[in-house]
Amino acid sequence: MNTAIKQTILIVDDEPSVRKLLRRAFELDSYQIVEAENREQTIDAIKTCDIDLVTLDVGLDGEDGLSVALEIRAISAVPIIMVSGRGELVDKIVGLEMGADDYISKPFQIREVLARVKSALRRGQLNEKNNTDSARDRDKQSPHQYCFADCTLDLHTRDLTGLGGTLCELTTAEFDLLEVLVRHPMQALSRDQIMDHVKGSSWNPSDRTIDNKIAKLRKKLNSHGVSRAIKTVRGIGYQFTLKVSSPH
């Protein structure tokens, strides 16, 4: 008896006939299927279901599939295969830049779709394993505490304590930002570099979210007697200016 857990594919297409065709092929290949026909259903499925891969139609009725891909990528690292009637090279490039892992043009051959799905799933599993191994290695090699001024940042408890053990309340985003900065003291980091280090972030490089978070983080540090710790580097980003030590 085969008790292997089936992988789940989310089919996003506004044409019922295309969803039916893909569902039939995927189910014959032992995949579980979830369907969506618009952006709202897609994001809801990503948030509520254990999705292993998404096939996403670029030309959703009244919606931009490329923008949907960007929304998916902001909240999930799930592999995305764009499926589109657009065959122009520029559309493929834009799709990949939006976070897609592959791109298939309509009309397509089911065997090609299945092959690309299997390939994307294998790459996703390999990347997940490599990321897990890398994180484990970093955890073994990296210190768990960083000290600056009279404060201690503890990565295990995710606490920032000041003089006398007073606790500085930080949001998850503020803690993640501070961790990135203290890991790279005296180094000017761009907003893109900061976001690259903050895993799982939904921040968009085009908005001002990091600047707002930095402002709030500065205010909290100031309230705990740590002033001028974060410097704005004009034209680049931010720099942590205090000496940081890692007690053993």
For 39-75, how does the pLDDT look when each residue is reduced to its tens digit (9 = 90+)?
Answer: 999 999 999 998 999 999 988 878 888 888 888 988 8
Strand ranges, E, within 85-154: 102-105, 145-148, 151-154
| CA distance linking residue 214 with residue 180, whole number of Å | 12
pLDDT recorded at residue 14: 92
| Range(s) of the chain covered by CATH 1.10.10.10 | 142-240
Q: What is the pTM of this model?
A: 0.52
Q: Angle between the 172-183 and 209-223 helix axes, to the nearest 10 degrees?
A: 80
Domain 142-240: give its CATH code.
Answer: 1.10.10.10
If you average pLDDT over residues 176-203, what whole number do you get? 80
Q: How confident is the model at residue 90 (pLDDT cuts 50, 70, 90)?
A: low
Q: Which two tokens stand for residue 131?
A: 């990321």
Residues of the chain with pLDDT > 70: what percent? 80
| Range(s) of the chain covered by CATH 3.40.50.2300 | 8-133
Structural contact between residues 229 and 240, judged by C-beta atoms closer than 8 angstroms:
yes
pLDDT recorded at residue 205: 45
Q: How confident is the model at residue 239 (pLDDT cuts 50, 70, 90)?
A: very high
Specify whether domain 8-133 bears CATH 3.10.129.10.
no
| CA distance linking residue 23 with residue 143, whole number of Å | 48
pLDDT recorded at residue 235: 83
pLDDT (tens digit per residue) in 127-178? 555 444 444 555 555 568 899 998 999 988 989 998 777 889 898 888 989 9
